[in-house]
Amino acid sequence: MGFFSKDIKTMDDLFVHTLRDVYYAEQQVEKNLPKMIEKATNLSLKADFEAHLAETRGQIERLEKVFEMHGVKAKAVHCPAIDGILKEADEVAGEVEDKQVLDAALIAAGQAVEHYEITRYGTLIAWAKQLGRPDCAAELEKNLAEEKAADKKLTARAQGGVNLAAAE
């Protein structure tokens, strides 16, 4: 089903569709983070990715809770956007030989993922409120807060030496 499929008639349909989109995205992130952990050289960066993998698993569970609260089936719909972001990350990482430059590439890839998640959760929270579901919005806020924190951590990692080391 495409994003502007005729099956989406109401704001509620759009909300559920986008919830399923981010559910898919989180599942793909969960699948891809172990690869990024393996490739990272900087131990702090590795630890950040590991912590975010654990968080991602919690986020998936939280999304399942939101589906249940909203009375719809927890189902993933294909999200080409996250596939593209992850595919590009994989391709770039495959082309970087220098370990420190690879860390910088992994941070950039990680931040692209975080920003995608941040935009999706921001939208979902606004729509949940509009639909009179502050309870769903509150759960989604928890995921958004974790994505923002993960993004900040990656920025700190880059500024704290990974990019400098890569430039040497």
Q: Which residues bind Fe ion (CB under 5 A)?
A: 26, 56, 59, 114, 117, 147, 150
Long-range contacts, stretch 135-143, CB < 8 angstroms, 24+ apart:
135/69, 136/66, 136/69, 136/70, 139/62, 139/65, 139/66, 139/69, 140/62, 140/66, 142/62, 143/59, 143/62, 143/63, 143/117
In angstroms, give the least distance from the CB of 2 to Fe ion: 23
Helix (H, G, I), strand (E, B) or coil at 91: helix
In angstroms, give the least distance from the CB of 30 to Fe ion: 8
Listed residue (18, 39, 54, 29) closest to 113, CA to CA: 29
Q: By the 8 A CB rule, do 146 and 29 touch?
A: no
- Start-to-end C-alpha separation, the chain: 47
CA gap 104, 92 in Å, rounded: 11
100 or 107: CB nearest Fe ion: 107
For residue 141, the surrounding DSSP H or E stretch is helix 134-157
42 or 56: CB nearest Fe ion: 56
42 or 59: CB nearest Fe ion: 59
In angstroms, give the least distance from the CB of 143 to Fe ion: 6
In angstroms, give the least distance from the CB of 147 to Fe ion: 5
100 or 120: CB nearest Fe ion: 120
In angstroms, give the least distance from the CB of 33 to Fe ion: 9
48 or 147: CB nearest Fe ion: 147
